[in-house]
Chains A and B, each alone.
Chain A
Amino acid sequence: MDAASPLARFWSEFCESPIAVAALVVVVIISGVALAAPLIAPQDPYDLAHLVLMDARRPPGFVGSNGYTHLLGTDAQGRDLLSAIIYGLRISIQIGILAGAIAFVVGVAIGTSAAYLRGRGEALIMRIVDLQLSFPAILLALVLSALLGKGRLPLIAALVAAQYAYFARTAHGAASAERGKDYVEAALSTPLPARTVLWRHILPNSLPPLIVVATVQIANAIALEATLSFLGLGLPPTEPSLGMLIANGFQYMLSGRYWISIYPGIALIVLIVAINLVGDQVRDQLNPRLKR
């Protein structure tokens, strides 16, 4: 048989779904564009000097007073919408990944420790996690965000608090299953420190479900941040994330100036859906019960 590594096999199976591949391409492109924002964006939306109020709320294709063609129109402050969207995507991705990564680390640490502890400690920790899981993330994020104030740090803290529980639960489930397996018992009976067993054996085998959760949670973090910004919480007005752009444009929609809300909205949706599609494919591939 071919000696393909599991990773290579995973990849070739992944490539069999055109939708997943297309979604992945979209994610990569958007990420690339977002990362290169300062280089690509025609206009710096943070630079107040560039804003011409007279050019505010103009439809797509409008040629501004500085001779520049606003491909997607301008928003209520005269910002070029395309630039604002690119920077907005940048913020969304940054925050999504950051919050996701921290929630991952925190959640996995808690979940795996609980699985390792067993007994009462485990029961207590997991009860708290379960309770938090049944509490809707958005409410938690809302309240925390309101209490902690605006800004990146409070926002990320709120997102992490809302999301770590998913990682904790998945990590706990996977680690418990591994913990009970014979090879772990065997490893633990050797002089190897528990930490090594955890790191070398339990964690790597718990990885597949965690990866699935991670992709979903990153998309969730992005959506959550957008919702918070839309509601007026989260990031300050100086850092216009997509949610804020949409919120600002909401009132203009009823008078027909749809582009201010709709285009940032489309950008947001494309990003989230693409991430979810990739995550879906990954989840289907890693699900042992659907193996044919």
Chain B
Amino acid sequence: MLGFVIERLLQALIVMAVISVLVFVGVYAIGNPIDVLISPDADQRIRQQTIEAYGLDQPLWAQYLHFIGRVFTGDFGRSFVFNMPVLELIFSRLPATLELTVAAVLGATVLGIPLGMYAGYKPQGVLSKLIMGLSILGFSVPTFWVGLVLIFTFAVSLGWLPAGGRGETVVVGGIAWSFLTLDGLSHLLLPAFNLSLFKLAMLIRIARAGTREVMLTDTVKFARAAGESEWTILRQHVLRLISIPLVTVFGLEFGSTLAFAVVTETIFSWPGIGKLIIDSISVLDRPVMVAYLMLVALLFIMINFLVDIAYAGLDPRLRVRRS
């Protein structure tokens, strides 16, 4: 098992390096970075000064190396727009996004797996068809539109919940969290639900497909022949068997949830890193873009890594094959 872990770890590091190159080159090579920093009618001298100050006159590979050097000291540069260290900027917004994402993922899992299993257990039932219909909606409807409808229904028409922003926060462990207050929860509910829908739909479909398949296998027949109750079969056999594809999707989809947070945060004016990146992209604040992309890539690689490990943990057949 250890060899497996180390091998995967090395792969992850290599990928990270490659991505850092791609991201850096992509962001800095396309377009003209200097245009964001100075007003168009600044004269040549100021232009030249700024270029040199930011090191933009150096060849790209030199810029990259400097960049990497600084990264290892934790310095991702300064935001062109906010004029503060990028890392600090990102970390100040991170808790909000984490809150949102974790709430969304939890909600999707707790609701999605049981609903999906039920739909797979009784595929012809009315409730199952309803669940599947809703899952198609959750799956295909763009997140931003659902957010719109949610705001329109619950905030504008019914006035039950706030239309945006983050609620009151409580500082725990040096970080401000909003889910610990009632006001915070009321602000968290709609965006978290909005964010969870895609994942919820996905989980329902996978759980349903997996359950349907497994229910037709000999394993289930044999368990039935032994007199095991349907409940036991679902919990002990089916759940264990479908957890393998579920975990894969779960892990990979965690990343996409983080990505969709971008849209949700924009609509609900949630002050997280998603909104930050949108704002940064529209003004082409390159250091922030680079840092964000690299951090997201790092997150993905870590998730991939963890999923691989979990996969091997859940399916004992995989453990034997590593050489």
List the interface of chain A (C-beta within 8 A of B): 131, 133-139, 142-143, 146-149, 219, 223, 226-227, 230-233, 243, 246, 250, 253-254, 256, 258, 261-262, 265, 268-269, 272-273, 275-277, 280, 289-290
Contact = CB atoms under 8 A, between A and B. Distances in A.
B293 A143 contact: yes
Given A139-B296, A149-B31, 7 more contacts: A136-B258, A138-B260, A143-B281, A250-B267, A261-B148, A272-B142, A273-B140
Interface of B: 15, 26-27, 30-31, 136-137, 139-145, 148-149, 151-152, 156, 163, 212-213, 252, 255-256, 258-260, 262-263, 266-267, 277-278, 281-282, 284, 289, 293, 296-297, 300, 303-304
A138 B255 CA distance: 11
Contacts of A219: 140
SS of B interface (majority): helix
B260 to A, nearest CB: 7
B256 A136 contact: yes
B305 to A, nearest CB: 11
A231 B266 contact: yes
Most buried by A among B259, B284, B289, B297: B259
Most buried by A among B139, B143, B252, B267: B139
A223 B142 CA distance: 6
A131 B15 contact: yes
Contacts of A146: 281-282, 284, 289
Nearest to B253: A136
Contact of B255 (A134, A261, A269): A134
A147 B137 contact: no
Contacts of B252: 133-134
A233 B260 CA distance: 16
B308 to A, nearest CB: 11
A261 B149 CA distance: 10
Nearest to B212: A290
Nearest to A232: B282
Given A256-B156, A265-B148, A276 B139 contact: yes
Contacts of A272: 140-142
Contact of B304 (A134, A254, A265): A134
Nearest to A138: B259
Contacts of A134: 252, 255, 300, 303-304
B148 A253 contact: yes
Contact of A139 (B30, B262, B282, B303): B262
Report, nearest first, the 10 A-B pairs whose CB atoms are least far apart. A136-B259, A136-B256, A146-B281, A276-B140, A139-B259, A223-B142, A147-B30, A272-B140, A265-B145, A230-B144
Most buried by B among A136, A231, A243, A280: A136
Contact of B213 (A227, A261, A276, A289): A289
B16 to A, nearest CB: 11
A113 B99 CA distance: 43
SS of A interface (majority): helix
Contact of A246 (B144, B213, B266, B281): B144
A91 B23 CA distance: 31
Given A146-B284, A265-B148, A138 B212 contact: no
Contacts of A232: 282
A139 B277 CA distance: 10
Contacts of A142: 262, 277-278, 281
19 contacts: A131-B15, A134-B255, A137-B256, A138-B263, A139-B296, A143-B281, A147-B30, A223-B140, A226-B142, A226-B145, A227-B263, A231-B144, A246-B144, A250-B267, A262-B149, A262-B152, A269-B140, A272-B141, A272-B142
B274 to A, nearest CB: 10
Contact of B263 (A135, A231, A268): A231
B255 A136 contact: yes
Contacts of A143: 26-27, 281, 289, 293
A55 B274 CA distance: 36
B263 to A, nearest CB: 6
Contacts of B304: 131, 134
Nearest to A258: B152
B261 to A, nearest CB: 10
Given A131-B15, A134-B300, A136-B255, A269 B145 contact: yes
Contacts of B278: 142, 231
Contacts of B259: 136, 138-139
B26 A269 contact: no
Contacts of A256: 156
